[in-house]
Structure 1
Amino acid sequence: MSRAVQELQDATDLIDELAARRLGVNRTDLRCLSRLTARGPLTASDLAAAAGLTGGAATTAIDRLERAGLAERVRDTADRRRVLVHLTGRGREAVQEIWGPIAADARAELLRFDVAELELVETFLRRALHNQVRHADRLRGETGGT
């Protein structure tokens, strides 16, 4: 089982690397693009928190995504003091082109499982996510010294 999980992580990592290359961005920018895709428009500080970045790093990533034509800063119509980062039309098209077929294939595979099996898979994924987040926090807290 652990080998299958590792191979899935490696395959996901490869897709991310190839997607970043295709879009002309780096992996940090890709992570921001992912958060905008999943959560919709965000303030720079919310995007930074969602992507695990400092405010400065998020600003730099947003600048690069804007230069690539994938995201844009837009004044919030409800509160003109706030600026939200939105995907552009090009950004949405790129996400669909790269990840749309992957998501469609995944949905087709999920249809092969019954409800109980899907609940078990979801439980495993939630626990695996918790484990990854916990260890990311651990690694963030380490100084890196020997």
Structure 2
Amino acid sequence: MTDRESFLTWVRTDLQTAQEALYDGDPAPCRALWSRREPVSLLGAWYNALGREDVDSVLTALAGRFSACTSYRVEVLSHDVVGDAAHTACFEHISASVDGEARVYTLRATQTYRREDGAWRVTHRHGDLVQA
């Protein structure tokens, strides 16, 4: 398996499972996949964060707004791995309750990653709502 194939498998398994947990109200798996080293950043549809502590706070706040995730699917449009750095450009298709209201929507998300101690970690995320 090539490095790109191995990375894509991780995106479609570990990362997808962690994101689904976030949309079901549990931030822990997602927080665990973020880099332990600075810099890290998040530019989201609702919140922005700079630094690991702020990212942890935002992920916890987001999880508090989500529950009852019935579906989460990542559609990878583009990805690459160069040494210990990688990126993805995706659509994220989500069915979950947001602030108690059932919703179905799609996010456009770009993420960067670095390999730390042999494991992929998120270093940056930019996500926004795809408008109809």
Decide: shared fold, TM above 0.5. Answer: no
Name the structure with the higher helix share. Answer: 1
Computing the radius of gyration over CA atoms, which structure comes out larger, 1 or 2? 1
Q: TM-score, normalised by structure 2?
A: 0.30
Q: Compare the two structures and name the one with the higher strand fraction.
A: 2
* TM, length-normalised to structure 1: 0.28
> Does 1 or 2 have the higher relative contact order (CA < 8 Å, sep 6+)?
2
